[in-house]
Structure formats: structure tokens, C-alpha cells
């Protein structure tokens, strides 16, 4: 029983990390096809060796992913609380 609970916790953490990773990747793929966004800043910075442009694109992307993850965690907790009522 304890192993099953531990496995579920590890699986949830792994799923959240993968979701954050996918969120970060999609910004850069959009920049490659010309859609702009934060990925465009990253590629401009990489092409011109400007670390400030790279950080200007990476930091907001990570912040956005963390905020979205927190919102989904709150939503999940709210749904769990509603199901237990």
C-alpha cells in the first residue's frame, strides 16, 4: 500500500515536470516557424551571442510555465475537494 502511494506521488511529479518541459519547448518551436513569441528572443540572442536576449526569452517562459503549473495544481485541489464533499 505504501509503495503504491509513493509511486502515485512520483508519477504526479514526473507528469508535472513533463508538462512544464513541453510548455517551454513549444515557445521555441513557434519561433522556428516564424510565429514569434519568447522563442524569437532566444534565437536572436543565440545568433548574436547576446546572453541578455536569451535570458529575456527564457525567464518569462519559465515563469509562465510555473504559474500555469500552480494554477493547474490549485484547480486539481479544488476538484478533489469538491469530489470529497
SS3 3: helix
pTM of the entire predicted model: 0.63
* Residues 45 and 54: beta-carbon distance below 8 Å: yes
For residue 39, which phi and psi values (nearest 5 degrees)? -65, -30
> pLDDT per residue over 22-71, tens digit each?
766 777 777 777 777 788 888 889 899 999 998 988 888 888 878 877 88
Amino acid at each position: 500500500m505504501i509503495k503504491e502511494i509513493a509511486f502515485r506521488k512520483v508519477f504526479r511529479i514526473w507528469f508535472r515536470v513533463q508538462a512544464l518541459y513541453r510548455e517551454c519547448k513549444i515557445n521555441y518551436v513557434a519561433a522556428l516557424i516564424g510565429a514569434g513569441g519568447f522563442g524569437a528572443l532566444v534565437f536572436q540572442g543565440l545568433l548574436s551571442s547576446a546572453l541578455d536576449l536569451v535570458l529575456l526569452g527564457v525567464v518569462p517562459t519559465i515563469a509562465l510555465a510555473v504559474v500555469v503549473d500552480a494554477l493547474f495544481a490549485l484547480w486539481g485541489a479544488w476538484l478533489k475537494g469538491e469530489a470529497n464533499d
